[in-house]
Amino acid sequence: MVEMDRKIHLIITRQKDAHSEPYKEEFLVPYRPNMNIISALMEIQKNAVNAKGEKTTPVIWESVCLEEVCGACSMVINGKPRQACSTLIDQLTEPITLAPMSTFPVIRDLMVDRQRMFDALKRVRAWVPIDGTYDLGPGPRMPEKTRQWAYELSKCMTCGCCLEACPNVNNKSTFIGPAPLSQVRLFNAHPTGAMHKEERLTAIMGDGGITACGNSQNCVQVCPKGIPLTTSIAQVNRQVTKWSFKRFFG
Ligand code: SF4
The length of the chain, given as a count of residues: 250
Distance 158 CA to ligand 1 centre (A): 5
User: For residue 1, is pLDDT > 60?
Assistant: no
pLDDT in tens, 68-78: 999 999 999 99
According to DSSP, the residues that pair with 88 across neighbouring strands are 36
Nearest partner of 157 among 177, 127, 183, judged by Cα: 183
* Cβ of residue 114 lying under 6 Å from some atom of ligand 1: no
pLDDT in tens, 175-226: 999 999 999 999 999 998 999 999 999 999 999 999 999 999 999 999 999 9
The pLDDT assigned to 134 comes to: 78
φ, ψ dihedrals at 30, nearest 5°: -60, 135
pLDDT in tens, 113-152: 999 999 999 999 999 888 788 787 887 889 999 999 999 9
**Domains present along the chain, CATH in parentheses:** 2-112 (3.10.20.30), 115-249 (1.10.1060.10)
Distance 167 CA to ligand 1 centre (A): 15
In this structure, are residues 244 and 204 in contact, taking their beta carbons and an 8 Å threshold? no
Give the CA angle between residues 98, 101, 103 to the nearest 5°.
160
